[in-house]
Amino acid sequence: MPIIARLATFYETRGIAVSTGLNPSHFGGFPLAPFTWFFKDGVSLTNGLGIAMQEIYFLECLFARYRPRHLFAIGNAAGWSTLALALLNPLGQVLAIDAASDRNARYGIDFTNRVAAEEGLPARVVEGRSPADVPRILRETGMVPIDFAFIDGYHSIRQVVEDFRAVRPFAAGDCVYLFHDVATFGLHPGIERITAESGLVAQHLPGTTSGMAILYDPEMRPAGLDDIAPFTAAPATLALIEAEAWNRRHRHIARWRRSIGKRLGHGNAR
């Protein structure tokens, strides 16, 4: 059953307006329009936006058959993805950490824990930094071994590698790792470094709004990963779409040049 309505209600009934899934072409090409925004008293609550509505659907597909017991997330912000993971894995346990360095991040930690308690969800958020605090927090909370890791903290190549290295010693052999914002922030070199040193296989997911990547041991690949196949794309298909996108941009530039020429009196010929 889709969770988006219930997830949004967690916020709306507590005085936080939610906007998610907006088409960027309707907002001047604004690339952050599709992600999840939180508003309170007429202002944006946090600069840490939630994952997009299409990515919520991705998680619904991922967890349709794949059922991890211990789920660990790096990055919480307003709790959108943490609560989504808990809704989709009611028999599991979700632990998230957040460095609380963004605006209203501590409010987000308190809010997420309050909602989880009031709604009976198996989720908890603690303040902590990756990679330094990860070993201590995982040991203290009894979340070892990790079966699923969602890495959505600071988006740099170096940081995603350090996040992975922090989690890997505490992960089960068949752990699945999901990285957010890989395409949006150009994190592909970090994913390549991780696969080279770990032996894991990476699947890039251009069908997700932020261009996520998912990593796993090919010898222990969960069968449920078959359910996310539509979020991948063949390189040849992507190349054709990229060519069409370039052609569209080129035609737009040509029309703009013709328009300028007419205004300057150089484009009267038809």
pLDDT tens for 68-116 read: 999 999 999 999 999 999 999 999 999 999 999 888 889 999 999 999 9
- Tell me, what's the pLDDT at 247? 76
pLDDT in tens, 30-80: 999 999 999 999 899 888 899 999 999 999 999 999 999 999 999 999 999
Is residue 128 within 8 A of residue 59, CB to CB? The reply is: no
- Tell me, what's the pLDDT at 267? 47
Q: Nearest to residue 206, comparing CAs of 189, 194, 188?
A: 188
How many Cα neighbours within 13 Å face the side chain of 52? 21
The mean per-residue pLDDT over the stretch 4-13 comes to 98
Average pLDDT value over all residues in the chain: 92
Q: Domain 50-231 adopts which CATH fold?
A: Rossmann fold (3.40.50)
Band (243; pLDDT cuts 50, 70, 90): confident
Distance CA(246)–CA(264), nearest Å, equals: 27
- Tell me, what's the pLDDT at 265? 63
> What residue spans define the domains of the chain?
50-231, 234-270
195 vs 246, more confident: 195
- Tell me, what's the pLDDT at 254? 46
pLDDT in tens, 228-240: 999 998 888 888 8
Band (257; pLDDT cuts 50, 70, 90): low
Question: Which tokens in the block code for residue 86?
Answer: 């808990």
Whole-structure pTM value: 0.90
Is residue 65 within 8 A of residue 223, CB to CB? The reply is: yes
Pairing of the two strands 201-205 and 212-216: antiparallel
The mean per-residue pLDDT over the stretch 135-148 comes to 96
- Tell me, what's the pLDDT at 245? 79
Band (262; pLDDT cuts 50, 70, 90): low
188-198 and 157-167 helices, crossing angle to 10°: 30
- Tell me, what's the pLDDT at 266? 52
